[in-house]
């Protein structure tokens, strides 16, 4: 049994001896600091070490609850047991509500060892729970930091790849087109002309594919602002899929580029999910930056999802969007039910990061 360091706040020496003897008959090994004034009690708390406090209720000029309040005001959280004569049920209830560990009547000191042990066990459980919560919070923060670092690395790598495609592959394909066009203008053989025209078509296709890949890797249209980028994204998605896609809302200010990227990728991923899973015919995207919040809502009229669907592996896409939102201090809400479509809502606090933008509307 670990030795306990106990402060006993008691102004009657005989009662202190009775309490000490009651605990001596138990398995608890106690080292005592006996004080009888509030100032001495608070000083003993500061000096430590202290494992628990036993306090009379009726003291000279103050009460045991005054001592409790003084201890809490110092930011100290210790097992605190009132050991006093009869103090009334209302007083006991008030003490319990305020957080005191227990109350033991001086005429029933046989209860004291058990009451003190329970208070010690409860305090140990609270400390363990607080430590676990703190460790979990630290782990979550490390995960958020890691996610942000990885996402930033991915975005940089995408930008580098897009630049290389533009500079190397795009330049080479453009040169090939020029040479093929030169051959087409000077060739007279019909069969050769057929092959040249086929090669020109393939080069044009490859050039278009490289441009599409570049836009997906790092959408240059984002440089014009989030709303123009979303206009381009929804328009091209509608043209490619035949779905009815509408974009509504306006932005009053230019946003942080990181927020732009998170919002753009959220809509991009949401549209991809609609195409793959929703079986929808209509998608509505709404955006606003009112009240210093960017709010982005993507709704579809598809089949929706039940709890079991969200728990499947496909929901990792939603987890990725949620983690991406956290990198800019935002969050993602999912509203859905089987047969009732799905709505994703991205919310990002903007604070003072936005700067006035002359015009944005659609």
pLDDT tens-digit series, residues 30-48: 999 999 999 999 999 999 7
CA distance 1 to 48: 20
C-alpha span between 308 and 356 (Å, rounded): 44
* Inter-CA distances, 7 with 118, 348, 353, Å: 17, 50, 53
Task: Map residue 148 onto helix, strand or coil.
Answer: helix
**Is 67 exposed, middle or buried, given 0-12, 13-18 or 19+ CB atoms closer than 10 A?**
buried
pTM (two decimals): 0.53
At 69 the pLDDT is 94
Q: What is the pLDDT of residue 352?
A: 53
- Tens-digit pLDDT profile for residues 293-346: 999 999 999 988 877 776 664 555 777 788 889 888 899 999 888 888 999 999
Model pLDDT, residue 51: 94
Ordered mean pLDDT values, 10 residues apiece, the chain (362 residues): 87 94 90 94 92 94 93 92 90 92 93 93 92 90 77 75 78 86 83 87 86 73 87 92 93 88 90 88 93 93 80 65 87 88 93 50 40
Task: Report the C-alpha gap between 269 and 344 in whole angstroms.
Answer: 11
Residue where the block lists tokens 């045991």: 64
């Amino acid at each position: 049994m670990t030795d306990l360091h106990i402060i006993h706040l008691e102004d009657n020496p005989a009662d202190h001896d009775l309490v000490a003897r009651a605990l001596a008959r138990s398995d608890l090994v106690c080292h005592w600091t006996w004080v009888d004034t509030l100032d001495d009690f608070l000083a003993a708390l500061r000096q430590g070490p202290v494992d628990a406090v036993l306090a009379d209720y009726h003291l000279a000029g103050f009460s045991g609850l005054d001592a409790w309040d003084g201890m809490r005001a110092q930011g100290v959280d210790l097992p605190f047991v009132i050991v006093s004569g009869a103090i009334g049920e209302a007083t006991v209830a008030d003490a319990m509500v305020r957080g005191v560990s227990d109350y033991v009547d001086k005429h029933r000191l046989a209860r004291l060892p058990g009451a003190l042990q329970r208070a010690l066990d409860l305090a140990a459980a609270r400390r363990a729970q607080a430590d676990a919560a703190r460790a979990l919070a630290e782990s979550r923060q490390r995960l958020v930091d890691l996610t942000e670092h990885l996402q930033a690395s991915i975005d940089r790598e995408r930008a580098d790849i897009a630049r290389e495609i533009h500079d190397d592959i795009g330049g080479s394909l453009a040169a090939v087109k020029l040479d093929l066009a030169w051959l087409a203008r000077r060739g007279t053989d019909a069969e050769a002309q057929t092959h040249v025209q086929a090669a020109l078509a393939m080069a044009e296709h490859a050039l278009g594919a490289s441009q599409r890949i570049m836009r997906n890797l790092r959408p240059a249209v984002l440089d014009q602002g989030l709303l123009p980028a979303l206009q381009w994204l929804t328009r091209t998605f509608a043209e490619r899929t035949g779905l009815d896609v509408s974009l509504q809302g306006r932005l009053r200010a230019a946003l942080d580029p990181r927020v732009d990227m998170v919002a753009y990728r959220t809509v991009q991923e949401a549209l991809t999910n609609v195409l793959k899973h929703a079986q929808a015919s209509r998608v509505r995207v709404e955006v606003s930056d009112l009240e210093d919040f960017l709010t982005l809502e993507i709704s579809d009229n598809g089949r929706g999802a039940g709890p079991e669907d969200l728990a499947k592996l496909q929901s990792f896409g939603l987890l990725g969007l949620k983690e991406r939102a956290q990198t800019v201090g935002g969050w993602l809400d999912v509203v859905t039910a089987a047969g009732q479509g799905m709505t994703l809502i991205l919310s990002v606090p903007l604070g003072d990061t936005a700067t006035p933008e002359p015009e944005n509307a659609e």
